[in-house]
Copies of this chain bind each other. A is one copy, B any other.
């Protein structure tokens, strides 16, 4: 066989995205929404490297995630290094490193790219960008209100109306109170229940019910009275979990003189948001948001689009992140929001930015000898803050104009011998054909 030159493939690495300018314009729009929304509240941007010591993730999340879902490798200096799969450990590390010098509270945000080794599928990529917002050092519930307010602003900025989405709210303190105090579960039982509730949306109603009954031992070998007691407890919990709203939920709990602090917090957040005009919020006793981190209020933004109801993003309070570094507690409330679902929402709701022109003006040139003059004109216009592209193709003038038009550039200036001689220039708006004299 004849020799054949080896030809390189042009595909990106599996599961990651190339951002051609049209794609990048969407990313930039999303980042812009994120930056505008957070900076309005006085949040400052930070960043860290993509590369982190692998131990940062092992300590927190157990070995599973480090072994199976992260990009972890040994560098040439025998260090185990991970491509960050999330930003929270990095920001906790940074805050712990300078805890004494930093002026609390910290209002911080970042837009890192994060990596997970997953089988690529719709909505799941191996590298994605995520807004991370954290308010460190505020104990009061005002922190939750501010954070949820920002999440609301961002969702609105994606183009959703209040009726398009819902903010769901729960409180870890309430869940702990219910499982621990109201039902007297041990930690193991409580965890099983939490796990079941977390998966409730993805389970059939039957399966969920059976699962809850199993937690109470129903079905194991037990005598009749034990079974009855277990069934009674299970029914009570299922009824509680099926409460239609916050007041119904509260009414099914033991009535105490002073309301439980977790319930009070929910009440305050609901009231605080309502006062700010945010009324598409509802208490959701089944909202769990995983098992780690969170210690208080948790929330999620839900897309209510009937064609594709889903969680969009969320967050909550986590008061114990820095203890891994031997630091005192620093309270924190925060959330993360990803670029893939943001783009998807903007597509769904028709708010993707129109592809914008790369320039305000195209300068078309008749005759190579007039290029230097054209470059001069371009520089003068740029000095005025205009974006100017110079056509260097030496093509026919019609082709140059059509090229500008294809790129969406709204105005053109034609420069030929006459213009160079007289210095009299005209600027033409392509959509109307109107020409106006131009003085530099």
Contacts and interface: CB of A to CB of B under 8 A. Distances in A.
A125 to B, nearest CB: 9
A394 B142 CA distance: 11
A interface residue count range (under 10 / 10 to 19 / 20 to 34 / 35 or more): 35 or more
Nearest to A389: B42
B117 A387 contact: no
Query: Per DSSP, are chain A's interface residues mostly helix, strand or loop, or mixed?
Result: mixed
A6 interface: yes
A47 interface: yes
B50 A5 contact: no
Interface stretch (A72-80, A303-311, A418-426): A72-80
A96 B42 contact: no
A50 B47 contact: no
Q: How many copies does the complex hold?
A: 2
A41 B387 CA distance: 6
Interface stretch (A97-105, A178-186, A255-263, A340-348): A97-105
A47 B59 contact: no
Contacts of A362: 42
A116 B75 CA distance: 11
Nearest to A60: B8
Interface stretch (A143-151, A194-202, A240-248): A143-151
Contact of A372 (B8, B10, B93, B272): B272
A173 B49 CA distance: 40
A317 interface: no
B53 A13 contact: yes
Contacts of A142: 371, 375, 390, 392
17 contacts: A8-B55, A10-B94, A10-B97, A13-B79, A14-B79, A18-B46, A20-B98, A21-B45, A24-B44, A24-B46, A39-B387, A42-B389, A51-B126, A105-B392, A140-B392, A272-B375, A276-B379
